[in-house]
Every structure is written in structure tokens, then in C-alpha cells.
Amino acid sequence: MNTLKIMALPFFMLAMLNVGAQSKLDRQTLMTIGDKAVTVKEFTEVYEKNNLNNNVVEKKSVDEYLDLYTGYRMKVMEAQAMQLDTSAKFKRELEGYRKQLAKPYFSNDKVSDELLHEAYDRMQYDIRASHILIACDKHAMPSDTLKAYNKALDLRKRALKGEDFGTLAMEFSDDPSARDMKGEGGRPGRKGNHGDLGYFTVFDMVYPFETGAYNTKPGDISMPVRSDFGYHIIKVASATKAIGSTQAAHIFLKLEAEATPEEEAAMREKAENIYKELMAQDGKNWIESVNQYSDDRGTVSRGGTLSNFTVSRIVPEFIEAVKSIQPGQIAKPVRSMYGFHIIKLNSISEVESFEKESYGLTQRLEKDMRSKKSEEVVLKQLRKDYRFSQNDKNLEAFMATIDSTVLSGSFVPAAEVSMEAPIFTIEKQTFKVGDFVEFIKKNQKPQKFVTIATYAYQLYEEYSNKQLMDYADQHLEERYPEFAHVVKEYYDGILLFDLMEREVWRKAIQDTLGLEQFYERTGSKYVWGDRVYAAVISTTNPESLAKMKAVVAQGVAIDSLRSVISRDSIPQINMRKGFFQKGDNQFVDQTEWKKGAVKEIPSTVDKTTVLVVVEEVRGPEQKTLGEAKGLVTSDYQAELEQQWMERLRQKYPVKVNQSVLEKVRKRY
């Protein structure tokens, strides 16, 4: 033995001793909860997963986590004692999660990796394109397929010779959105898009179309691209840097589809005036302008901020404006089919590194049709792993008995067919002709464009693949212990949710008497700030404004104003009344908080005038149960859970082996 080996031996032996000692500790009982023993391994697996292997906000000490883990195990034991895991709802939900968890085991890493990198590369760009669709069924006869292809090819040639692509789309495309649609049955009409699909990026279109678009240079027109819908010729207008998930705010001025040119011109002028006013103050009055002018009432309370969107989720004019500015800037007014938008770009989430984007892309790949590429490779491997063996003689004999009734979806096997004849085996499990016949009966559908043999073997491929996938799925837990562990975590999680809903959350909502008693004990901590009871009245009619000022001057109570407006037929009045705190309404904030205060606030961009009337000023006061119900219910739930946990600790007493716990502490 050489010197190097002799020197290395003690270190090797020490490592082996440490591994052996750790394995021995893992098997020891750390504690008992009720009559259930918990080993060190059971605890440390969960502890390490949640505190050592992940990025967490705060890593828990062993003792802190032991307390959390104990509560978690008590709840699971209680849920099992109540047999919550036997309900149909629980089984259905667990099966749904298990199905999602199993997906990675049915994809090929190499193919998936190639698709993943392709998706990431395409993710760098937003495409704007138009298309002309020539419809063609995916199972069409070769003659019909060729006819559709030649028609698409002819239209491409005409476009390349200079004919307008949009006009060709309106006349020949089988995509109905290309043409104008008249309003009918109370539904408004809309203008056709002339084939313009707006902006899109990876996963927004079916995979063949996406590939055709990304492989076509801006300004070019693709060769016919086949999808399940037919043949597309694609004209790419641009391929620009992706803006990803975008957050923007807007001031929206609604314009009806039937608006006259004069109405559109007036609205355009108003939008430009608002924009000029914003620019004069470097956009500092954005919130005030949104509150005062935007017709998108759903976003006014958020400063005009829309939900985060991607390029395919909003009209292309909006995207064009967003792409022309930087975060923090405001774009000039743009016209869309809905009206005018003044857009402020808040942020864009630019494409991050491949490592950061890969998880989300992988999730989307699993749901996309391109994942079938990976599935084909997996099926080939599964045939080897599970020793798939096909009986060609029996299969061919049965296939020869299938007649044209299968094309009408009414196939029934002939009496002489041997239903017990085996057609393939998966490991030790045999699948017979009769099994395949039942599959045909349930899945056959009328066919127009395929031969008997083609459709019969298509059904057989579907059947054999399904049986192979199902067999592999049924043996996942025994083949992959890590999969079994994750499924167990989901089992526990669903149980805990159902239990908490039953014992805490639902109880707090249904126990009205208990909630009232809890509020009586704790109500003093739910308090309003300073408030005013006021009316905010707006109008564009000078005569109506004068009448309202006269009514207010007479001291008419706010609660009676609506009846006066109705009685005196005062037109074009909008009014909001109620209690306001600071920040609830910009016009109320501009008014002196004094009983009887009245303030007139004219608009600087149109003829609107706002009249604010303050009737009452209130200091801080306790909220009623109705006003604070959400907060009170949440706090009551927390109290119920605490009381419930005390009962569980009595039902499932905990005994911790302190000497074993000390060894676990030292490990970490």
C-alpha cells in the first residue's frame, strides 16, 4: 500500500463512521405525539427542506421548528381521526395535484431542454404579425390538403407582387376577425383587423404558427405554415425587444364605436389638453388627473394602474405607446378601438437569465402541444423499462376484422373475434383484444378523411400508449421514493386546509354570537381616523351648477340632495356622498374640514366643475362590528385556532426525547 493510500485511510474511515452515526441517529425516536412515534429522519427531512435547502426569509432554530412541526403533525392526526381523507372531495383534489407532480416523470430531459432553450430564445422578442388562414381539417384527405396549400401559396405570390396583405386577408382569410362585423341583437359591431394579430410572444400562438412567425424576418411573408386550423401565410411587421410582464397606468377617455368625427375630434382635443397639463407639471399631478378625468372607474382608485399584462393581452396601439417610452414617462395620447389613452409606464419586467426564467417556462411547456415531442421519446423509453411486448399475429388478425363502421363511430366486433386473444403485455400484465374493443367503443368518432386501417391503428396507438402511461403512473411511488415523499406532503397539506376550514375559518364566520362577544371584548382597537360626512357634486352644465349652489346655500341636508335634484329636474348632475378619510377623495382633501364648508373646484381641461359640501366632521371613534367585520373575523379566527390547539395538545400529549434532541441540535 503506498503512502498516499495509508494517509487517506483514517479520513475515509472517519467519514464512514460519521455516516454510520448519522444513519443510526436518523432511526431513533425524537418524540411521540399521542401514540405515534416520530423519528429523527421524519423531522429532519422536513426541517432541512424548509430551512436549509431553500432561500427563506428567516431560518428557524431546531427548537422553534420542532414546535411548528409538532402542531402540524397534531393537525394531520386529528384530520385522519375525523376521516377527512376518505371524502370524495379530498380524493379528487389529491389526485389533481398528484397528476401535476407526475408530469416531469413523463418527459424526456434532452428534448425538453432543447424546447426550453428554444422558448427562452423566442422569449427575447415580441412579434407583431398579420396572417391569412386557409382552413383545412388536420385529418383532411391529401387532395383537399393540397388544394388548401396551393390556395395559400397563390395568395402569398399575390402579396409578394405588391397586392395589399390586409385587403387579401379581408377577402380570402378564413379567420373571421379579418372582416368587419355588423352589430346585431344588441351586440355592437366591430371593425375587422385585416389579418393583424397585434403583438405576441412565445406560447401566445399555437406552436407551428409561432415557429413560422419567429423564423420569418420582419417585412417578409412566410411560406404556408400548417397548423390544426389549416394553412397560414404570415407577414411579420416587427420583432422588437420583449417587454415581458408590464405594469402601466392610463387615463382613459371612452369613445363610443358610433361616435361622429366631431365627437372624436373633441375627445382628441381633451386628451391632448390633459397631456399638456401633465407635461407642464412633469407628470406630478398624475393621480389628480386620473381621479378627475379617467373613464376607467375600475382603475381610478389605483391611480389608473392596470393589472400587469403581456403584449398579447392588450390592443396593439397601447403596446406601441408603451414601447416608445421608458419607465416613469408618459406617452402622448393614443387612439384605440375603445377611445383615447394617456399612458404612463410604471415598469417592465425584462427577460431575466435563463436560470431564473427556466422554471416558469418549464411549467408552460408541460401544458403546450410541443411537449408531445418529449412524450414520444418517453414512450419509447417506457417500452424498454416496462418490457412492452406486442403480439403482432393476434393484433393483425383483429385489425383485419375492423370494417367501415368504425369510420361512422358505430363499430361492433364480429361474433367470431377472439376477445381473449392477447395483443400486448406490460411486464406481467396482459392486455387482450376485448380490452381494446372496449376502448374503441368509448372513443370512436365519425371520420371523413381517413381510411379504415389508418383510423384503426390510430386508435390502437392511443390505446397502447395510454395503457403504458397508466401502468408507469401506477408504479411511480415505488419506483421513485422522492415522488412518494412529495405526494405525502400534498396529502398532508390538503388535509390541513380542510381541517382548518372546518375547525377555524368556517366556525368564525358562522358563529355570529361568538363573533359579537369577541368584538365586545376587543372592539376598542378597531378605530376610524378623522372623517367628514360630505357630498361631492360634479356637472358640466353651468345652469345646473348655479341651481345646486343655491340649494346648498339654503342648508339642505346632504341626504336630501338627491330628492331635490329629482324634484327640480336639475340635469347633468353626478353626486357621491358619504364619510371620507384623508386620501379617499382628492376634492374632499382640497376642502376645509369644517362643518358647513363648501368649495367649488373647476376643471382645467374641460367644462366640469366639482362642488364639495361638508356637513359633519368627526374625530377618531370606534368602528361598529359591521364596519370592522373583516378585521374582527380574522382576529377571532386566530383566537379560535389558539383555543383549538390547546385542546389538541391535551388529546395528543407530546413527549420529546431530550437526549436525542440535543444530538439533533448539534447536527445543525
* 503-555 pLDDT tens trace: 889 888 888 999 999 999 999 999 999 999 999 999 999 999 999 999 999 99
Per-residue pLDDT band for 190 (boundaries 50, 70, 90) equals confident
Q: Would you state the pLDDT for residue 59? A: 62
Asked if the model's pLDDT at residue 54 lies above 80, the reply is no
End-to-end CA, the chain: 37
Asked if the model's pLDDT at residue 203 lies above 80, the reply is yes
Q: What one-letter code names the amino acid at 224?
A: P
- Structural domains for the chain: 124-241 (3.10.50.40), 245-350 (3.10.50.40), 386-477 (no CATH), 527-622 (3.10.50)
Asked if residue 467 lies in contact with residue 491, where contact means CB atoms within 8 angstroms, the answer is: no
Task: Give the DSSP per-residue string, 322-351.
Answer: HHTS-TT-BPPPEEETTEEEEEEEEEEE--
Q: What is the DSSP letter of 136?
A: -
Structure confidence by residue, pLDDT tens digits, 555-599: 999 999 999 999 999 999 999 999 999 999 999 999 999 999 999
Q: Taking each helix axis from N to C terminus, what angle separates 3-26 and 40-51, rounded to the nearest 10 degrees?
A: 100
Assessment of whether the complete model's pTM goes beyond 0.75: no
Asked if the model's pLDDT at residue 362 lies above 90, the reply is no
**Residue 386: CB partners within 8 Å, gap ≥ 6?**
426, 427, 468, 471, 472
Q: Would you state the pLDDT for residue 1? A: 45
Per-residue pLDDT band for 106 (boundaries 50, 70, 90) equals confident
CA gyration radius, the chain: 35
Beta bridge partners of 247: 347
Q: Would you state the pLDDT for residue 61? A: 85
Mean pLDDT for the chain overall: 90
Asked if the model's pLDDT at residue 167 lies above 60, the reply is yes
Burial of residue 147 (CB within 10 Å: 0-12, 13-18, 19+) is middle
3-state secondary structure of 421: coil
Of the candidates 442, 470, 443, the one whose C-alpha atom is nearest the C-alpha of residue 455 is 443
CA distance 492 to 90: 11
The average pLDDT across 635-661 equals 93
Asked if the model's pLDDT at residue 473 lies above 90, the reply is yes
Per-residue pLDDT band for 52 (boundaries 50, 70, 90) equals low
3-state secondary structure of 216: coil
Asked if the model's pLDDT at residue 5 lies above 60, the reply is no
Higher pLDDT, 107 or 349: 349
621-622 and 574-580 strand pairing: unpaired
Per-residue pLDDT band for 144 (boundaries 50, 70, 90) equals confident
3-state secondary structure of 456: helix
Share of the chain above pLDDT 90, in %: 74
The C-alpha cell at 223 is 411560406
Asked if residue 557 lies in contact with residue 531, where contact means CB atoms within 8 angstroms, the answer is: no
The average pLDDT across 657-662 equals 92
Structure confidence by residue, pLDDT tens digits, 597-633: 999 999 988 889 999 999 999 999 999 999 999 999 9
The average pLDDT across 70-90 equals 93
- Measured in residues, the chain has a length of 668
The average pLDDT across 212-221 equals 97
Instruction: Report CA dihedral (447, 450, 452, 454) to the nearest 10 degrees.
Output: -120
For the chain, what is the total number of helices (H) and then of strands (E)? 26, 19
Torsion angles phi and psi, residue 339, rounded to 5: 150, -150
The average pLDDT across 439-467 equals 91
The average pLDDT across 311-318 equals 93
CA distance 449 to 142: 9
Q: What one-letter code names the amino acid at 209?
A: F
